């Protein structure tokens, strides 16, 4: 966090408060926003009033708290959600319950909060707060990933003691952290607008060709069953989306996932490691930057049955190695091309990643240590270490995978620019 509070003078902030026990944190959050100079309009769901009163938040914000889509005593109340959506520089939902996250992800419109979210033209920051198992549940993770695909920012829930008595990830981020993130989002939005009023984000990859791999591969051994892994493809999709927003011409080669394809990206769908190898080798030479984020199977069945194999007491499956796609790309890397690999480790993580970087002729490698909570497959968060060819390394904090993608691109492009100059 910065040494001094951010300056939000004159900024218009919407704060959506939902029915979580963490709603009490909305009071200090409003105070922090106001101290930074922002104007704050609080929107509450009806269930939020069970945990904190509108009077409290209205007093702190110096504005009447709104709950219903058509508020009483409000001129033009039937379009209030529209005018608020145009007024705001940022919409923060904190705390965001699993119920509200699901509504936002699916476009529900049954309160002033959800109606304004659909109308808002500004960035939207979601700060989840719920019990550990609710946060981990695939439905919640799917909804959070969907929000990120829609362009919302999601702050990972914090780790700690929960209202249920359990300890784990699910706590609402602390108010000062939310204020810092809010200021960063407003600054980024303003910089983006200043850079190009006709496009989204910076154009640091304008004219560059980017190749990204994502997701698992599936190696069938009969018409019904496959060997695969737990990869969801979220990290690779986030990289492809971020690169496209920066102006790159992006090709995403993805194994089977349930994710919607990113906008403005050429998507090549594959199933097996061999299919991914063929697709990558066909695109590698034209790419300026290559991000190999896919979790490719190391082994595939040596033989594939044309009929479903029946159950027996014992079953022996003979495997053979799949093509080493990353090494092949590294061996054929052309001058000026940037190659970024990924390593997922459970022991001797740093040493194994550094060895992989050297052996595969990579410029960068992104290390995931599965022993660290929030890292790796599944969650919409990641905690990674960036290792570069020149020996430098940087540990990134636990962040949403969309933010990890931005950080990776920032570091890689910055280093590339310094070398070029």
Partners of 293 in the beta sheet?
none
Residues 6 or more apart whose CB falls under 8 angstroms from that of 30 comprise 15, 40, 42, 57, 60, 61
Read off the tokens for 54.
Answer: 């509108």
Residues written for the chain: 421
Contact (CB, 8 A) for 153 and 131: no
DSSP structure class, residue 353: H
d(CA 410, CA 381): 18
Edge to edge, the sheet with strand 289-292 lists 265-269, 249-254, 209-214, 289-292, 338-345, 364-369, 384-388, 393-395
- Choice among 229, 361, 368, 380 that is catalytic: 229
Other beta carbons within 10 Å of 207: 9
Could you write out the DSSP letters of every residue in 141-162? HHHHHHHHHTT-EEPPPEEEE-
d(CA 287, CA 209): 5
> By C-alpha distance, which of 62, 8, 378 is closest to 185?
8
> By C-alpha distance, which of 373, 368, 371, 376 is closest to 132?
373
229 a catalytic residue? yes
The dihedral over CA atoms of 48, 50, 55, 59, expressed in degrees to the nearest 10, equals: -50
The dihedral over CA atoms of 344, 406, 115, 41, expressed in degrees to the nearest 10, equals: 120
Could you write out the DSSP letters of every residue in 183-197? HHHHHHHHHHHHH-T
Partners of 268 in the beta sheet?
253
Would you please indicate which residues are annotated as catalytic (active-site) residues? 229
């Amino acid at each position: 966090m910065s040494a001094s509070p951010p300056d939000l003078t004159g900024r218009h902030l919407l704060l959506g408060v939902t029915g979580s026990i963490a709603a009490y944190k909305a009071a200090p959050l409003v105070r922090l926003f106001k101290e930074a100079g922002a104007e704050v309009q609080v929107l509450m769901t009806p269930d939020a009033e069970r945990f904190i009163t509108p009077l409290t938040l209205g007093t702190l914000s110096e504005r009447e708290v709104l709950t219903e889509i058509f508020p009483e005593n409000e001129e033009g109340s039937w379009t209030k959600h529209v005018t608020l959506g145009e007024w705001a520089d940022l919409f923060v939902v904190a705390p965001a319950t699993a119920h509200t996250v699901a509504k936002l992800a699916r476009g529900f419109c049954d309160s002033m909060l959800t109606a304004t979210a659909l109308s808002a033209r500004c960035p939207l920051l979601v700060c989840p707060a719920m019990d550990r198992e609710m946060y981990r549940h695939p439905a919640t993770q799917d909804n959070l990933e969907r929000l990120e695909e829609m362009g919302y920012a999601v702050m990972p829930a914090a780790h700690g003691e929960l209202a249920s008595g359990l300890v784990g990830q699910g706590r609402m981020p602390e108010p000062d952290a939310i204020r810092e993130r809010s200021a960063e989002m407003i600054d980024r939005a303003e910089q983006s607008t200043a850079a190009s009023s006709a496009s989204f984000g910076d154009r640091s990859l304008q004219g560059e060709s980017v190749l990204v791999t994502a997701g698992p591969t599936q190696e069938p051994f009969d018409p019904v069953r496959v060997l695969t892994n737990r990869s969801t493809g979220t990290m690779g999709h986030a990289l492809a989306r971020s690169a496209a927003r920066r102006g790159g011409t992006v090709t995403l080669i993805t194994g089977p996932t349930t994710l919607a394809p990113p906008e403005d990206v050429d998507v090549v769908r594959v199933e097996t490691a061999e299919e991914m190898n063929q697709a990558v080798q066909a695109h590698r030479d034209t790419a300026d930057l290559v991000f190999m984020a896919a979790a490719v199977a190391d082994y595939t069945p040596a033989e594939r049955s044309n009929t479903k194999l029946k159950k027996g007491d014992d079953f022996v499956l003979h495997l053979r190695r799949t093509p080493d796609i990353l090494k092949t790309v590294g061996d054929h890397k052309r001058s000026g091309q940037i190659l970024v690999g990924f390593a997922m480790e459970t022991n001797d993580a740093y040493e194994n990643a550094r060895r992989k970087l050297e052996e595969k002729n990579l410029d960068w490698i992104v290390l995931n240590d599965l022993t660290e909570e929030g890292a790796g497959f599944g969650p919409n968060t990641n905690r990674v270490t960036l290792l570069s060819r020149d020996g430098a390394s940087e540990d990134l904090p636990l962040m949403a995978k969309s933010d990890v993608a931005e950080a990776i691109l920032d570091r890689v492009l910055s280093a590339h620019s310094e070398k070029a100059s």
